[in-house]
């Protein structure tokens, strides 16, 4: 019941933001192709603001898809009711975001321009929107084709991995615009690989 209510609310919110999504969508796709496009997007107040609003609107749909297809499945969630499972997915997502914010604050550079650092940080918004849209489309199409849920889950995990690797590459390019490749790699390890690695390992251990 809660799942259906949240799905309906998400649909209405996305519908209200549809015009903004259409306007910013070409810029989102351009960010997949070139790292410099993320800098251009941040330079536009309107595009970056629209992208941010769409990102916030995609949080609930992403958690619903992740919960529906068990994209994160540690053993301690086995046997949980639908409402409890959904609540746990939102809590885990919130914890992951808060930890990312913490490491961004802890490892903020003193020599790198704040504009570059902020652009690199917010590049995750762009790729999160793209990933969520892809997962929603995949879920809808594969469900319509009656494809086995385990196959859908595996496909979604692969797509998520590809998008994440591409995001890491683009973020590295943004960092490299103002620092060396080695420094950019160190920032990447601290800001991305550390929190995501902890999330992946927690699924294996727990």
**Residue range 80-117, pLDDT digits in tens:** 788 889 999 999 999 999 999 999 998 888 788 888 89
**pTM as predicted:** 0.94
pLDDT for residue 77:
80
Radius of gyration of the chain (CA): 17
Q: What is the pLDDT of residues 151-202, one digit of tens each?
A: 999 999 999 999 999 999 999 999 998 888 888 888 888 889 889 988 888 8
- Which ranges in the chain belong to alpha helices (H)? 2-16, 18-33, 36-43, 45-68, 82-106, 114-144, 149-176, 181-188, 194-205
Q: Please, which pLDDT band fits residue 73 given cuts at 50, 70 and 90?
A: confident
């Amino acid at each position: 019941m809660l799942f259906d209510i949240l799905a309906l609310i998400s649909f209405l919110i996305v519908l209200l933001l549809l015009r903004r999504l259409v306007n910013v969508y070409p810029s989102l796709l351009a960010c997949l192709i070139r790292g410099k496009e993320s800098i251009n997007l941040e330079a536009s107040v309107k595009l970056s603001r629209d992208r941010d609003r769409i990102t916030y609107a995609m949080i609930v749909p992403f958690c619903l898809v992740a919960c529906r297809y068990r994209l994160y499945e540690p053993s301690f969630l086995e046997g949980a009711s639908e409402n409890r499972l959904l609540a746990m997915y939102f809590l885990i997502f919130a914890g992951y975001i808060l930890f990312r914010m913490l490491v961004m604050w802890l490892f903020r550079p003193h020599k790198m321009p704040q504009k570059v650092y902020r652009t690199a940080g917010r590049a995750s918004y762009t790729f999160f929107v793209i990933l969520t849209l892809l997962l929603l489309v995949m879920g809808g199409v594969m469900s319509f084709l009656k494809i086995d849920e385990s196959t859908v889950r595996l496909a979604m995990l692969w797509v998520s991995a590809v998008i994440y690797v591409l995001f890491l590459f683009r973020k590295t390019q943004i960092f490299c615009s103002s620092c060396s490749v080695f420094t950019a790699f160190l920032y990447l390890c601290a800001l991305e690989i550390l929190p995501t690695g902890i999330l992946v390992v927690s699924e294996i251990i727990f």
